[in-house]
Structures are given as structure tokens and as C-alpha cells.
Amino acid sequence: MNDPVVFPRPLFPPPARLAVLISGRGSNFEALAEACANGGIPAKIVLVVSDNPAAEGLRKAEKREIPARVVDWAAWPNRQARETALLAALEAEAVDLICLAGFMRILSAAFVARWPLRILNVHPSLLPSFPGLQAQAQALDYGVRLTGATVHFVDAGTDTGPIVAQAAVPVHPGDDAQALAARILPVEHAVYVAALRRVLEGGWRISGRTVRFPGS
């Protein structure tokens, strides 16, 4: 087993510089932005990037006067070119940490390796159950009584990185995927904010896949 790696307190000089990557409505981005604005997270969102020019979250960023960029996946010939453009946007803003918030693209192993333990994602299930797309429908098809939301570090797999925080959500009789998703969404917001705050506060350690915070 590898020796535990301990991360300093705080992880970055506050306020940490965050980039949020989105593809759609940006509700998790809004939760993070509100927490940054009210002091709930020792950070500032310095960049929002979307792979989708029509993403509603871009308008929300503009209303908050947060710089927003489009790296349109369709405009580039291959993944390497797309990620080179994304990397340039992130480096131009001296980003400390990346938060994926409904970003519907898989980042390459090479890209992730440039940001070790500096990319977070929130997923609408209790990982490792139901990774990937349509997690709520997967949970209903399997017949579970509990699902939830997970915040994890991003690695080269799909929703396979070390888990930072989880919160459970009950599955109700008669739920469809839309109803279950609506019940999970506010839990995603809350657990993402709490997990990001704990990560930025530092003092945590990681051994193998296990992330331990001070006092836990």
C-alpha cells in the first residue's frame, strides 16, 4: 500500500481560483457560485466553460458577471485539440481547482494527469453504483430503496475516482427518473458545496482510494 499523502491547510491560498465546467442548465454551478458569494466556500469562480454554446448555464454565469467561455466540442477535429483549447482557457485564468457540474464529456487520462486530485465531480448516485449516464433510471431499474449523490475526485475512469462525500436519497414508490432526479438535485447542491469547502480547507489525507478529513 502506498504511504498516505497529506494535503496542506489550506489547499490553496484563499480565495482559491475555481473553474466550473458545464454542459447544460448549470444548477450545480449556481449552488457553488452562491456559496462562494456568501462566504460558504473560500473560493472565487474565475471561469465557466461549456462544451455546448446553447448551455443555459452560460447565461447564468454572464448574469453573475463571471467570465464564460465556450469550447465547442463540435468545432475541433479530435479530443486532443479540444482539450488543448480547454487547457489554454484554464491556464489563462490561473485556475487552482476544476469543478465538473453537469459536464457531459469524458476527460482523457492525459488531461486528468495534469490536474491530479484537482478535479471534482458530482454524480447523482451512491457510487460505485450506477456510474455514467442516466444514473436515476439505472437505480429505478435495479429496484434500490436508496440512491443519492456522490462528490468524487476525477480520475481516468468514468465516475471511478476517490469518493469525497456522499448523501443518501430515498426512492419512493411510483418514482420515475424525472421525479427521482428532482429529489436528488438539491442534495447534489448541498453535498457539492460541503465537499468543496472541506477539500479547500485542506489537512486531509488520501491513502489508496480512501480520503480522510481532520476529525473523521
Low-confidence residues of the chain: pLDDT under 50: 1
* pTM for the whole structure: 0.95
| Terminal Cα-to-Cα distance of the chain (whole angstroms) | 21
Q: Are 140 and 171 in contact (CB under 8 A)?
A: yes
pLDDT attached to residue 167: 98
**Number of domains into which the chain is organized:** 1
- Residues marked active site are found at 123
Give the CATH number for residue 181: 3.40.50.170
Give the C-alpha separation, 190 to 102, whole Å.
Answer: 15
37-61: pLDDT as tens digits: 999 999 999 999 999 999 999 999 9
Range(s) of the domain holding residue 10: 5-212
pLDDT attached to residue 2: 63
pLDDT attached to residue 77: 87
Give the C-alpha separation, 17 to 154, whole Å.
Answer: 18
Give the C-alpha separation, 145 to 126, whole Å.
Answer: 12
pLDDT attached to residue 1: 44
